Structure 1
Amino acid sequence: MKMPASDIPALFDRTTLAARRARAQDEALFLHRAAVDEVQDRLSMVKREFTAPAVVTPFPQVWGEILPGARIVADDEVLALQPGVHDLVVHAVALHWANDPVGQLIQCRRALKSDGLLLAVCLGGETLHELRAVLGQAEAEVTGGLSPRIAPMGEIRDLGALLQRAGLALPVADNVALTAEYRDLIHLMRDLRAMAETNVLSSRLKHPTRRAVFDRASALYAQNYATSDGKLRATFDLICLTGWSPDESQPKPLRSGSAQARLAEALGTNETKLSD
Structure 2
Amino acid sequence: MPDDLVSDALWERIAPLLPPQPERRHRHPGRLRVPDRVALAGIVYVLRKGVAWRDVPAPIVGCSGVTAWRRLRDWTEAGVWPRLHATLLGELRKAGLLEMDDCAVDGSHVKVSQRGDHVGPSPVDRGRPGSKHHVLVDRRGTPLAVSLTGGNRHDVTQLIPLLDAVPRIRGLRGRPRNKPKRLYADRGYDYDKYRRLLRKRGIKPLIARRGVAHGSGLGKTRWVVERTFAWLHQFKRLRTRYERRADLHLGLLQLACCVICLRQLSKHLPPEQAVRT
Mark yes or no: TM-score above 0.5.
no
Compute the TM-score of the two structures, normalised by the length of structure 1.
0.25
* Structure with greater proportional strand content: 1
Normalized per residue, the structure richer in helix is 2
TM-score by length of structure 2 reads: 0.25
Pair member with larger Rg: 1
